[in-house]
Amino acid sequence: MTKALLLVGVGGQGTILASKILSEGLVKLGYDVKMSEIHGMAQRGGSVTTQIKFGKKVYSPVIGVAEADAIVAFEKVEAARYLYQLKKGGTLVINDHEIYPLPVLTGQEEYPGDINENLQKQVEKVKVLNANKIAEGLGNTKAQNIVLLGTVIKALGLEELDWIAVLKEYIPPKFYELNIKALEAGMSL
Amino acid sequence: MKKLMTGNEAIARGVYEAGCTVAAAYPGTPSTEILENVAKYEGIYSEWSPNEKVALEVASGASIAGARSLAAMKHVGLNVAADPFFTMAYEGVNGGFVIVTADDPGTHSSQNEQDNRYYAPHAKVILIEPADSQECKDFVKNAFELSEKYDSPVLLRVTTRICHSKGLVELGEREEVGVKEYKKDTKKYAMTPANAKVRHIIVEEKLNKLREYTNSCPLNRIEWGDKKIGIITSGISYQHSKEVFGENASYLKLGLTYPLPNEMILKFAQTVDEVYIVEENDPYLESYIKSLGIDCKGKELIPICGELNPGIIKNAFFPEEKAEAYEAEIKVPSRPPVLCAGCPHRGLFYALSKYKDIVVSGDIGCYTLGLMPPLSVTDSVICMGASISAGIGFEKAFMQGGTKKKVFSCIGDSTFFHSGITGLIDAVYNKSKISIVIMDNRITAMTGHQENPGTGKTLRGEETTIIDIEKIVVAVGIKQENIRTVDPYNLEETQRAVKEAYEAQEPFVIITKRPCALIKKVQKARTGIYCVFDDEKCKKCKACLKIGCPAISFKGGQITIDGDMCNGCGICQQVCKFNAITKVGE
């Protein structure tokens, strides 16, 4: 059975790197994998998504409405934006972190105040964490994407792989320590 | 060995394995990474050309000279390169010649949704459509072979989801084909009217041979499943269909899509109960298949507009099985793309935003975002290079109609080299009174920081001559007194230049020169520089919010500046009349 995973966030949050590491790990676990990303204009502070599908044989790389087994939202409001793609009974991981879009910054639109509560009311399996705070505690808030990667690995039950080895293929040695800690922190939650 | 690769990486790998020795491109989403990856392989000369026409011509010349050659571009790039593309169909090849067109269904990063498959029958060249990364690699190799066998350029058409999706690819070795001998043959390679007459006949003969071959071409295949439903499809649409129907349908999966295989299509249609054409965007396959007298359904079910996905197909065929989805019960704010914090374009757009009786003719690049609120400066965007020439049109029409509006054209450095120079020549030659702003951020930014003729570096990182924009402007004939080069981080200087440009009665050029804030070197140099905000001095006038900087926000009645995001460009500081913003770390 093919599993579909959607990572959503804001340009610059490192969703693509997390997706690459995850996809590579899934290949090592023996799955057929397709990963699809959209970049270009949206990169400039816009809403970004990457889609990962894995299973025995994967055809389409695209995830449609109510097709994602899990959604990982690197930013809170993005969880609400892409909720329609979550399969009923699927898992929602929310990074309790806010990045205000420009219309909110300039006061034209409002940033909703009760996102987590609202989503928790609807979705059974919700996991909320503040990956930015965790990463900050480890020395650099930028490692929040790796914290979230760890959380997803655990949520999908994929802990048996040596993820640190995969991580090292994608990260320069001077950031090994920080990111290994971030990964472990994410996996321990 | 199997490797997870994007379609673009796999195309590059195929180009390498096929023994290609010359490759050229102009960056454009979703095609950019093809040449970026080709350039990493040894044994292939690769270049960023100033535009797609140049790229296709470089590859044409190389093919005639005997090299297996590649030109890659996004769909609208082929419009720019259409002129040599059509004539190369007549001239044919010496070394195999492959042109990649990367279409963008869903307009993720493009100004239109054109379906470039139509270019193949129009120009009379072979068309090939891979459906995943493995096929991207394999089909590129097939394309070079077919190109040489049939003496024709081959158009390899991919789409965003093929280019930017990763899948497993089995790697092979490079075939060292070398560069063939070049023999002068003007009847073939000099397309005068007399030669073209003859070559056209040869092209038609070649196409007839291809019409035979395509029925046995391994790129076209039938996958038998349940024969009640027969799906004819190509490219990514095959993957979507397969996901929806699995074994519950039969498929005619087309890889060589011009010329199309008549016999194969007829045989397939006769064997299945009902024929459906599943294709993204235009009814390219459907129109042809219907012309064979086959009763089939296509666009009644599958929309022409937008990107296709399995869900759309599912809803079209099985509307009763619609999956129940969650609906967020909160109002989600929009998140449009914005000019980055520290973007050097901001100062110029802010200066222009103060004029209400101007029209701003925009162009393709990050600075297209000058049309977004709160700056809302730009009036029109057409295509690469159109800012200057369309600006001239605006100005001439206003003159004819008696409208008093000043016209500004805003174009980036890479776009200026691409196709802005000819517009500038027109402005001088035809005595236009437009003011042109060349927004030189020292890189091709939107597509992810590619080198260009102004950066002093080639695609392969070699040092080269920096083409000096100001010298071009002078050489074209803009008077020295009508040229201003300014630092757009210096708002006063920028505003002064804009005022002079506004008042000018002759073509006037402002060059805003400041590297993109996201260039790694720039980021490093500006680390620790940021603006801080003093709430006591703030009068809540919100002037700083009018520059549209994502680092500045207004939360709970108070302005805050995100020090992590801010790079200390200082535009907000210069806008604030109450000295509530100061820069630190410089």
CA nearest B554 in A: which residue?
Answer: A105
Instruction: Check if the beta carbon of residue A26 is closer than 8 Å to that of residue A54.
Output: yes
State pLDDT tens for residues A77-126. 999 999 999 999 999 999 999 999 999 988 889 999 999 999 999 999 99
- Which of the residue ranges B145-159, B169-183, B546-560 would you say has the lowest mean pLDDT? B546-560
Instruction: Check if the beta carbon of residue A179 is closer than 8 Å to that of residue A171.
Output: yes
Structural domains present in chain B: 2-214 (3.40.50.970), 221-317 (3.40.50.920), 345-522 (3.40.50.970), 526-584 (3.30.70.20)
Instruction: Check if the beta carbon of residue A66 is closer than 8 Å to that of residue B324.
Output: yes
Cα separation, B74 vs B444, whole angstroms: 15
CA angle B381, B382, B387 (to 5 degrees): 65
Q: Chain A contacts of B336, Cβ < 8 Å?
A: 46, 101-103
* Domain count within chain A: 1
**B481 Cβ contact list (under 8 Å, min separation 6):** none
Do A107 and B545 lie within an 8 Å CB cutoff? yes
CA nearest A43 in B: which residue?
Answer: B337
Q: Chain A contacts of B447, Cβ < 8 Å?
A: 40
pLDDT band at residue A42 under the 50/70/90 scheme: low
Q: Which of A106, A118, A136 would best serve as a mutation to test chain B binding (most B beta carbons within 10 A)?
A: A106
Cα separation, B393 vs B279, whole angstroms: 38
| E strands in B239-294 | 250-254, 256-258, 274-278
Cα separation, B76 vs B363, whole angstroms: 14
Do B366 and A47 lie within an 8 Å CB cutoff? no
Which of B161, B168, B332 lies nearest to residue A77, judging by beta carbons?
B332
Q: Is A55 on the interface with B (CB under 8 A)?
A: no
**CA distances (Å), B55 to each of B117, B223, B575, in order?**
20, 38, 43
User: Residue length, chain A?
Assistant: 189
State pLDDT tens for residues B33-92. 999 999 999 999 999 999 999 999 999 999 999 999 999 999 999 999 999 999 999 999
Q: Is A30 on the interface with B (CB under 8 A)?
A: no
Three-state secondary structure along B524-573?
A: HHCCCCEEEECCCCCCCCCHHHHHCCCCEEEECCEEEECCCCCCCCCHHH
Q: Chain B contacts of A44, Cβ < 8 Å?
A: 337-340, 366, 369, 446
Q: What is the CATH number of the domain that holds A27?
A: 3.40.920.10
Percent over 70 (pLDDT), chain B:
100
Mean pLDDT (chain B) is 97
State pLDDT tens for residues B305-349. 999 999 999 999 999 988 899 998 999 999 988 999 999 999 999
pTM > 0.80: yes
Which structural domain range is residue A50 located in? 3-187
State pLDDT tens for residues B244-283. 999 999 999 999 999 999 999 999 999 999 999 999 999 9
Three-state DSSP class for residue B5 = strand
The pLDDT value given to residue B294: 98
Do A33 and B4 lie within an 8 Å CB cutoff? yes
Quickly tell me which residue has 């030109």 as its tokens: B71
Q: Is A62 on the interface with B (CB under 8 A)?
A: yes
CA nearest A109 in B: which residue?
Answer: B333
Instruction: Check if the beta carbon of residue B494 is closer than 8 Å to that of residue B486.
Output: yes
Q: Chain B contacts of A20, Cβ < 8 Å?
A: 166
Phi, psi dihedrals of residue A88, rounded to the nearest 5° = -60, 130
Which of A44, A58, A65 lies nearest to residue B369, judging by beta carbons?
A44
Q: Chain A contacts of B338, Cβ < 8 Å?
A: 44-46, 102
ipTM over 0.85 threshold:
yes
Do B29 and A39 lie within an 8 Å CB cutoff? yes
pLDDT band at residue A39 under the 50/70/90 scheme: low
Q: Chain A contacts of B553, Cβ < 8 Å?
A: 100, 104-105
Do A118 and B329 lie within an 8 Å CB cutoff? yes
Interface of A with B in 81-140 (CB under 8 A): 81, 83-88, 100-112, 114-115, 118-119, 121-123
Amino acid at A175: F
Q: For residues A136-153, give the mean pLDDT.
A: 96
- Residue A127: half-sphere exposure toward Cβ, Cα within 13 Å: 19
Q: Is A187 on the interface with B (CB under 8 A)?
A: no
